[in-house]
Amino acid sequence: MYLLNRMLDLGCDPDTVTCNMFLREFGAGERKGREFLEGLIVRLCNSGRNMAAGEVLMVMQAKYIVPEPPIWEMVVIDICRRKRR
């Protein structure tokens, strides 16, 4: 967790490899993995890094991890809002 927090603090967005590494630690099919990635998405959205949040969402979809509807809503609305500007 320290590594991820440090990356986010320095402005480095997690990529597919990073997400997969943490999923391996938490277990891709388990609730902990989903909750971890959802928390990461919320943190990225709150810091204005919506495209990175969208990429994490795509990693979840590739692993058949279904995020909660409010997570989808947060990412889609933020990405659409950015595209309009």
- Read off the pLDDT of residues 8-65 as tens digits, 9 standing for 90 and up: 889 889 889 988 888 888 776 678 888 989 999 999 999 888 889 989 999 999 988 8
Would the CA dihedral through 24, 28, 34, 35 be positive or negative?
A: negative
Work out how many domains the chain is built from and give that number: 1
Identity of residue 48: G
Burial class (CB within 10 angstroms; exposed 0-12, middle 13-18, buried 19+) of 85 = exposed
**Pick the residue with more confidence: 83 or 14?**
14
Q: Which residue range(s) make up the domain with 21?
A: 2-84
What pTM was computed for the model?
A: 0.84
Amino acid symbol at 11: G
Listed in order, strand segments (DSSP E) in the chain are none
